[in-house]
Amino acid sequence: MIKLYGFPSTRTTRVAWLLEELEMDWQYHQVDLFQGDHLQPAFIALNANSKVPVLVDEDIVITESAAICQYLAEKYGGDKFLPSIATAESAIYHQWFSFIITELEQPLWTMGKHKFILPIDKRCTDILSTAKWEFEKAIGVAESQLNDSTFLVGEQFTVVDILLTHTLNWANNFEQVLPKKIEAYRLRLLQRPALTRAIEKENNAIK
């Protein structure tokens, strides 16, 4: 059985969401970040970076949420959640995948690190205004690239929809203003039953 090591309201939710979309049988193992579980030898043996999520699928151990989602979709998704390779849809998919991880998420991650994640003596509040400016620029690009389709890649729900929606939730939690079309997209995707089930499973795993 697949095991997912994580903590609620982190990038773990991306993986839990996809596992529910795939209707797979899986176990959630909470790694309590507040109690320092991620710094214990047993967890470091799974991920030397001491971060969640970690997915264990038999003898395969995978870290990095986007990579985990890609793996799950490739192995268990059949013809769902990923476009056909070497197509125009695949090109759009990979463009969004890269943009979300490298351009859109990073300024939000910078905000989080320098507000509450890094040790106090390592935080630099001066960088927050720059991160906000970077995010506003990136979200404007994202807004311009949305079309009238239901999802990012036409009418097919894919991994990049999970990545974008989760990233937009971060932005909302960090009180960033989202453009009208982007916000409508976020609210629409939040209605997916698989996401509701994933969040419930995460919350029920809290010790």
Q: Going from the N-terminus, what domains does the chain have, and what CATH number goes with each?
A: 2-79+194-204 (3.40.30.10), 88-192 (1.20.1050.10)
CA 196 – CA 205 distance, rounded (Å): 14
Sheet holding 54-57, edge to edge: 26-30, 2-6, 54-57, 60-63
pLDDT score of 207: 57
Best CA proximity match to 2, nearest among 10, 11, 22: 22
- How much is the mean pLDDT over the chain? 96
pLDDT score of 204: 87
Is the pTM higher than 0.85? The answer reads yes
Contact at 8 Å (CB) between 29 and 5? Answer: yes
pLDDT score of 168: 98
* Residue 17 bridge partners (DSSP): none
Reported as a single tens digit per residue, the pLDDT across 58-85 is 999 999 999 999 999 999 999 899 999 9
Consecutive sets of 10 residues in the chain, 207 residues long: mean pLDDT of each? 95 98 96 94 95 97 98 95 96 98 97 93 96 98 93 97 98 96 97 97 81
